A = this chain, B = another copy of it.
Amino acid sequence: MSSTKFKKDKEIIADYETQVKEIRNQLVEQFKCLEQHSESRIQLLQDLQEFFRRKAEIEMEYSRSLEKLAERFSSKIRSSREHQQFKKDQHLLSSVNCWYLLLNQTRRESRDHATLGDIYTNNVIVRLTQISEDVIRLFKKSKEIGIQMHEELVKVTNELYTVMKTYHMYHTESISAESKLKDAEKQEEKQFSKSGDLNVNLLRHEDRQPRRSSVRKIEKMKEKRQAKYSENKLKCTKARNDYLLNLAATNAVVAKYYIHDVSDMIDCCDLGYHASLARTFRTYLSAEYNLETSRHEGLDIIENAVDNLDSRSDKHKIMDMHNQ
């Protein structure tokens, strides 16, 4: 039975070692996840930066094309106006007015898309770069804190391991002391049964002296073993209490780690990330909404001019113009 008990102890230690190993693997895995998570964030931020960089280029290209288009016709109008000085504003035909406003709108769109590209480059991308830097910085900081937490975890599990081994050692010793004590008790019992025979065979006196010293010897050994056993038992109980306290503490640390610390570590990595990202997106949205408002204003001006397309007034302007 002592042998099976010993085997069981070995199994417990092996189990424990497996568990500790698993926890360590999990810690490594968690770091990997956190790293992966930060990397995917940085990747996302890089993609966003690259996206806005390219979109800014597209907006600038679009803006330049629109500007060129408007300028091509505006310069034509300017040069024809020099020849036809009589085409003053009061003689501006409503149809020609629509055309001029269309060119104005084109210039406005050109300006607005250039502004958009500018905001992408000088605001959105700058913010994204800052967020990237923050993510890297916070990941490093979180990793440092994580490493400290891991070390703490390793320390308490190592301590627990030591305490557990001590407990097992004392437990084993206590068991062996107990079995030795039991041996001594058995020997004493045997001696006592021999002493009973002694009273019956009182005639054989020459035998009595050596038998009494042997009893004393056994008695002494038993006492010694009793003392040893008590001592071991005490040590074992102390070690067991130590172990139980340590186990509770370690479990608390492990639980705290899994329930709070991992979460806190992610929180630390996340610090300000969503808020900064939201601010950046809002900058983008605000720029887009501004472009939309400006565009809409321009279209409304054209719509108003189209509503005021008036053949009667244009005819009078033409007749006035030729009567001058």
Contact = CB atoms under 8 A, between A and B. Distances in A.
Contact of A303 (B102, B285, B322): B285
A227 B284 CA distance: 107
Interface string A55-97: 1001001100110010011001000000000000000001110
Nearest to A72: B54
Interface residues of A, number: 58
A306 B278 contact: yes
Interface in A305-321: 306, 309-311, 314-315, 318-319
A72 B41 CA distance: 19
A61 B262 CA distance: 50
Interface stretch (A1-9, A145-153, A230-238, A266-274): A266-274
A239 to B, nearest CB: 36
Contacts of A98: 277, 281
Contacts of A284: 102
A61 B76 CA distance: 25
Given A44-B99, A309-B274, A314-B274, A266 B69 contact: no
B54 A69 contact: yes
Tell me what chain A mostly uses at the interface: helix, strand, loop, or mixed: helix
Given A99-B48, A102-B51, A281 B263 contact: no
A61 B310 CA distance: 36
Interface in A19-62: 29-30, 33, 37, 41, 44, 47-48, 51, 54-55, 58, 61-62
A259 B295 CA distance: 44
A157 interface: no
A295 B113 CA distance: 14
Nearest to A277: B95
A289 interface: yes
Number of identical protomers? 2
A106 B322 CA distance: 52
Contact of A61 (B65, B309, B314): B65
A73 B51 contact: yes
A318 B266 contact: yes
B58 A65 contact: yes
Interface string A217-246: 000000000000000000000000000000
Interface in A246-302: 262-263, 266-267, 270, 273-274, 277-278, 281-282, 284-285, 288-289, 292, 295-296, 299, 302
Given A58-B65, A292-B296, A299-B289, A309 B278 contact: yes
28 contacts: A29-B322, A33-B318, A41-B95, A44-B95, A44-B99, A47-B73, A47-B99, A48-B102, A51-B69, A51-B73, A54-B69, A55-B66, A58-B65, A61-B65, A62-B65, A94-B274, A95-B273, A263-B315, A266-B318, A266-B319, A267-B311, A270-B315, A281-B306, A281-B309, A282-B306, A285-B303, A288-B299, A292-B292
